[in-house]
Amino acid sequence: MIFILTGAGISQESGLSTFRGPDGLWEGEPVEAVATPEGFRRAPARVHAFYNGLRCRLASGTVVPNAAHYALAELMEKAQEEVILVTQNIDDLHERAGAKNVLHMHGELLKAYCTRCECAMPWASDTSTASCCAVCGREGFLRPHIVWFGEMPLYLEEIDDALSQCRLFVSIGTSGVVQPAAAFVARAKQQGALTLELNLEPSATASIFDKGIYGKASAMVPAWVESLFSIT
Ligand code: OAD
C-alpha cells in the first residue's frame, strides 16, 4: 500500500494560500479568528463570511486543480496496489482532478456540520447563523465542516490502520508542524515503510524522511508518479 499525505503546498499553484506565510495570516485573516472554536463562538458571522468567501472562490473557476492533483489521481487509478490519499486540505481539488475516496482529515469546505444533530452534509452555498440544517431542519446550529485548532481530526482510525500497513509513505506540500499529521512519517517508518517528502523546502520533519525532493509540486509530483510507473 502507498500512503500519500498532502497539505496546503499542493494547492498553492492552484491559487490557494498556504497557512504559514510570513505575515501569519491565512487568506488575509488572523488564524485564531477564523480557525478556532473560540473565534467562531466570539464572532460566528465573521467566520461564516470567511468560509463563504473561500467556498465562492473554489466555485469561481479561478481555482482549479494543477498537474500535481492530476498526477495523484492517475496514480490512484492505475497503481497495481492500494493507494490511500489523506489530505489536510479543505478544498476539493483532489476530487476535481478525479481522485476517489480522499480522506479529508481537517474537514471539507463543501460540507456543513450541524452541532445539534451532529451530522455533516454536502453544502455548496453560503452558510450563516440563520442557516437551517438539511438533516434535522433546525436553525442556527450549522457551522463550516472544518476541523479547527484544538479539535479532533477526522478518520484517525482508518489513517492509523493504513499507516501500519503501508510500504511507501509520501508527504507532499506540508510544513510538518501540525499534529497529528506531522507524526505520520515516524509511525510509517517505525513499521518499515520507505518515506519520501516532496515539498518546496525541507519541512520541520525532513530529517525523519529517507529521502526529500524539493521544488514545486506541479513539477515534482508528476515526475515522481512517472518514475514510479517506470520502476514497477
Ligand atoms: P503549511 O502552510 O503549514 O505548509 C505548506 C508547505 O507547503 C510549506 O512547507 C511550503 O514550503 C510548501 N509549499 C508551498 N508552496 C509549494 C508548492 N508550490 N509546491 C510544493 N510545496 C509548496 O500547510 P500545511 O502543512 O498543510 O489545519 O498545514 C497543516 C494544517 O495547518 C492545515 O491543514 C490547517 C493549518 O492550520 C487546520 O485548519 C486544522
* pLDDT band per the 50, 70, 90 thresholds, residue 13: very high
Query: pLDDT value at position 28?
Result: 80
* pLDDT band per the 50, 70, 90 thresholds, residue 22: low
* pLDDT band per the 50, 70, 90 thresholds, residue 36: very high
Own/partner contacts of 181-190, CB < 8 Å, gap of 24 or more, are 181/5, 181/7, 181/86, 181/88, 181/105, 181/153, 184/3, 184/5, 184/86, 184/159, 185/209, 187/160, 187/163, 188/3, 188/163
Whether the per-residue pLDDT at 75 is higher than 80: the answer is: yes
Query: pLDDT value at position 18?
Result: 86
What residues are in contact with ligand 1 under a 6 Å CB criterion?
A: 7-9, 12-13, 18-20, 35, 88, 106, 147-149, 173-175, 178, 199-201, 203, 216-217
* pLDDT band per the 50, 70, 90 thresholds, residue 23: low
Which residue's CA is the nearest one to ligand 1's atom 13? 9
Q: Check if the beta carbon of residue 194 is closer than 8 Å to that of residue 167.
A: yes
Whether the per-residue pLDDT at 20 is higher than 90: the answer is: no
* pLDDT band per the 50, 70, 90 thresholds, residue 21: low
Percentage of the chain with pLDDT > 90?
88
The answer to whether residue 104 is catalytic is no
Which residue's CA is the nearest one to ligand 1's atom 31? 178
Peptide bond into 180 cis (omega under 30): yes
Query: pLDDT value at position 158?
Result: 98
Which residue's CA is the nearest one to ligand 1's atom 35? 19
Query: pLDDT value at position 4?
Result: 98
* pLDDT band per the 50, 70, 90 thresholds, residue 93: very high
> What is the grid cell recorded at 175?
510544513
For the CA of 68, the nearest atom of ligand 1 = 19
**What value does the mean pLDDT take over residues 162-191?**
97
Query: pLDDT value at position 24?
Result: 58
Which residue's CA is the nearest one to ligand 1's atom 16? 9
For the chain, strand residue ranges (E) read 2-6, 25-26, 29-30, 83-87, 103-104, 107-114, 120-122, 142-146, 168-172, 194-199, 211-214
Supply the mean pLDDT for the chain.
Answer: 95
Whether the per-residue pLDDT at 162 is higher than 80: the answer is: yes
Pocket test for ligand 1, best of 14, 16, 17, 20 (most atoms within 8 A of CB): 20
Chain segment 126-157, per-residue pLDDT in tens: 999 999 999 999 999 999 999 999 999 999 99
Whether the per-residue pLDDT at 2 is higher than 80: the answer is: yes
Pocket test for ligand 1, best of 5, 10, 19, 171 (most atoms within 8 A of CB): 19
Ligand 1 centre distance from Cα of residue 182 (Å): 11
